[in-house]
Amino acid sequence: MKKNQKIQKEIDSVSKNKFLTKRVVAPKLEKVLYKSFKALDHGFVRVIDYMGNDSSIVQAARVSYGKGTKQLNQDKSLINYLLSHRHSTPFEMNEIKFHVKLPIFVARQWIRHRTANVNEYSARYSILENEFYIPNPKELKPQSKTNNQGRSGDLDENEKKMYMKVLRENSKDSFEKYNFLLNQDDDEVNHKRQGLTRELSRIVLPLNSYTQWYWKIDLHNFMHFLALRFDEHAQYEIRVYAEIMINIMKKWVPLTYEAFLKNRLDSLVLSSEAIEFIKNKLHGKSNKETKISKREIDELKKIFSF
């Protein structure tokens, strides 16, 4: 039985369990516990466990017990107030744990969020499967001329075919070399060798190899992760995961999700220079002396249609 099939069998077995609890639950999230949401070509996101719901945030903010002491619209207003005024501790009371399968280069971006607890699959202990991230051709783009860490523009079809071929061939070749070092191939002659240790054999694998981890984070820091990784400026591959996870957040804490969209994703933070720039625009004054960056001006033009 393949490793992925074995894991799925274990998950299906756990999913049949029924537990009684006195804790608050999120009914919509309960329905998708352990469900695998596909990401990229071989990746996925699934929720393994969570603690708290919207009422837990309200309870922490009011330091009170029990539900139903306040109207739903009062809870909604309080959560919106907390988010808009950047209160953090009530949201830190809620936690969620994910099982994520992702390419290593995405994991290296992801791990920059150091406020989570992470336990990653060990290639020192286990043998990796022949799975590599190969981008969809439409995602192949040249280096951006204005953003040193992004892509922009288009490639012609011949270039795309050439680059796709290199990516596929390099992935195939690296896995063959990995198997050779481990002495895992079917060559009877090679099986006379002992093979190289797993912890060294893995170093021939490229960054588009897949890894897996358990990732546990509180709601406050989870929203910070989403605000950065769901943003249109984030790398496409990590945005795919962020999009899945923001939909999971909606099932978990719908009132907080709504406030998060309103106060974070769909809002704008202005620098003092940007405020001066807009004031001058409104009053018909010159902005020649305003010390504002070109990137910020472009952002303001896009939002306010200057």
Beta-carbon contacts of 195 under 8 Å, excluding residues fewer than 6 positions away, are 181, 182, 183, 184, 201
Query: What average pLDDT does this structure show over 146-159?
Result: 88
Residue 46 a catalytic site member: no
Cβ-based neighbour number of residue 40 at 10 Å: 21
Tell me the C-alpha to C-alpha distance, in Å, between residue 13 and each of 9, 10, 173.
6, 5, 37
Quote the CA–CA distance of 122 and 86 in Å, as a whole number.
Answer: 38
Beta strands 95-103 and 43-51 are antiparallel
Q: And the tokens for 154? A: 């288009």
210 within 8 A of 104, measured Cβ to Cβ: yes
**Among candidates 247, 219, 223, which has minimal Cα distance to 92?**
219
**pLDDT tens digit string along 92-146?**
999 999 999 999 999 999 999 999 999 999 999 999 999 999 999 999 999 988 7
**pLDDT tens digit string along 261-301?**
999 988 888 899 989 988 988 898 888 888 888 888 888 88
Top pLDDT among 7 and 169 is at: 169
184 within 8 A of 127, measured Cβ to Cβ: yes
Which one from 229, 239, 264, 295 is the annotated catalytic residue? 229
DSSP bridge pairs for 76: none
Beta-carbon contacts of 247 under 8 Å, excluding residues fewer than 6 positions away, are none
pTM, whole model, 2 decimals? 0.89
